[in-house]
Amino acid sequence: LSSKLDKAFQSLKGEARITEVNIAETVREIRRALLDADVNYEVARQFTNDVKEQVLGSDVLTSVNPGQQFTKIVHDNLVETFGGEKADIAQAQTPPTVILIAGLQGSGKTTFTGKLARHLKQEHKRNPLLAAADVYRPAAVDQLKTLASSIDVPVYSIEQKDAVRVAKEAVSMAKSLALDTVIIDTAGRLHVDEEMMNEVAEIKEAVNPHEILFVVDSMTGQDAVNTAKEFNERIDYDGVVLTKLDGDTRGGAALSIKTVVNKPIKFVSTGEKLDALSPFYPDRMAQRILGMGDVVSFVEKAQKEFDEKEAEKLQKKIKSDKFDLNDFLEQIQKIKKMGDFGDLVNMIPGASKALDTADIDDDAFKPIEAIILSMTPEERQNPELLNGSRRRRIAKGSGTTVREINQLMKQFDQMKKMMKTMSKMSKAGRALQGLK
């Protein structure tokens, strides 16, 4: 019983150890969460393998809450994969800076062209000219013109269906008008095809852009990766724009694309309006991806039960050596109150294996409860009062033996010591909670 109880307390205080054995289970959980967030399967597999190796190689494991520890490692890995800080877009030494926008039809290129123009104008005091190089549909040119007029930015367009020419002439026009930026909106197709790729490649060749941005609809999830890859192989773009990240799009595409093509994600677009644009923040995206999965939910449930204030009170008692048998009893009753103890433990990745939950049931706590309840309140507060005659009285009252009481008192002392050590270590654990 002693070791079982110790384990129970350990895990509930969030100190259960991650072993090589139960890591596999956790890794599976994380992989599932990533897939739920729409991360490409192969990317999710690769990512979780990396995390696994990192976990195995770290020795912090012995002291910190495993769930939070895992979440923290996954979070940090996501941020690192995304490339730490946000990337800016290029600026030409001699203006105009030429920015080429490419992507599939409907991905949000034209909308983004307007958003970027607005952003550069407002935040960077730039004077952009938009080039209407989607020459096939008159509606496309009109759409760009409408957007542009709402932000008071000029558009260059021609009657002929010649995208390369539009791009070239727009650059010359910008030069002669002393406009410092040209943003070229191109045509897309519903799927990657040769004609479209050729056209974008030709524009690239003709105007030698300082920045090529690939626009991708984040709602296309698993597909986004292939498109991103094909575009990259063909036109070697400088950065990615993730659109339609509003609503409940999960953002897994960000991880997939970054992993597969290794180009920085520079902007995210979160709505149809022109102000719905934001630079890409790696940590926000990491949290979005994690928040969608189940990885953190067990932490939340455990926290609900172990209300923080109470935990703090307990911590203080432990530190000042005032943790007594009343507190001990309270903890036991709390464990029982959680009812589905096994259920809770199961939510902690790996913990169920470590704990052998089938063996933990209410019965295990009964003699302990009986013993403590047979003590006077005074005795519970000051266990050192418990001399031989008091122990004999308590044994009778609780239907146990003096030996059992001696054993319990020994356990209680050990637990007090253990809790004191843990309370020192749990500072690190609390530092990790900040990321949720």
Q: Is 435 annotated as a binding residue?
A: no
Q: Is 114 annotated as a binding residue?
A: no
Question: Which CB contacts under 8 angstroms, 24+ apart, belong to 193-198?
Answer: 197/230, 197/231, 197/234, 197/235
- Tell me, what DSSP letter sits at residue 250? -
In the complex, what is the shortest distance from the CB of residue 188 to Mg ion, in angstroms, rounded to a whole number?
7
In the complex, what is the shortest distance from the CB of residue 136 to ligand GDP, in angstroms, rounded to a whole number?
11
Q: Is 103 annotated as a binding residue?
A: yes
Closer to ligand GDP by CB, 217 or 404: give it.
Answer: 217
Closer to ligand GDP by CB, 22 or 249: give it.
Answer: 249
48 binds Mg ion (CB under 5 A): no
State both tokens at 147.
């957007």
Closer to ligand GDP by CB, 32 or 189: give it.
Answer: 189
Instruction: Give the closest residue to 261 by CA, choosing from 216, 220, 226, 223.
Output: 226
Q: Which does 232 bind (CB under 5 to 8 A by kind): Mg ion, ligand GDP, none?
A: none
Q: Is 76 annotated as a binding residue?
A: no
Closer to Mg ion by CB, 70 or 231: give it.
Answer: 231
Gap between the Cα atoms of 375 and 395, Å rounded: 10
106 binds ligand GDP (CB under 6 A): yes
279 binds ligand GDP (CB under 6 A): no
In the complex, what is the shortest distance from the CB of residue 141 to Mg ion, in angstroms, rounded to a whole number?
9
Mention every residue, 6+ apart, whose C-beta is less than 8 A from residue 132.
140, 141, 144, 145, 155, 156, 157, 166, 185
Subset of 110-169 contacting Mg ion (CB under 5 A): 110, 140
Query: Do residues 240 and 216 make contact, with C-beta atoms less than 8 angstroms apart?
Result: yes
111 binds ligand GDP (CB under 6 A): yes
Q: Which does 67 bind (CB under 5 to 8 A by kind): ligand GDP, Mg ion, none?
A: none
Burial of 403 (0-12, 13-18, 19+ CB in 10 A): exposed
Q: Which does 272 bind (CB under 5 to 8 A by kind): ligand GDP, Mg ion, none?
A: ligand GDP
Question: Which CB contacts under 8 angstroms, 24+ apart, belong to 33-37?
Answer: 33/290, 33/292, 33/293, 33/294, 33/295, 34/252, 34/255, 34/289, 34/293, 35/252, 36/250, 36/292, 36/293, 36/294, 37/250, 37/251, 37/252, 37/255, 37/288, 37/289, 37/292, 37/293
246 binds ligand GDP (CB under 6 A): yes
Closer to Mg ion by CB, 71 or 227: give it.
Answer: 227
**Selected binder of ligand GDP within 14, 67, 96, 108 (CB under 6 A):** 108
Q: Which does 111 bind (CB under 5 to 8 A by kind): Mg ion, ligand GDP, none?
A: ligand GDP
What is the C-alpha R_g of the chain? 31
Residues near Mg ion (CB under 5 A): 109-110, 140
Annotated binding site: 103-110, 185-189, 243-246
Annotated binding site for GTP: 103-110, 185-189, 243-246
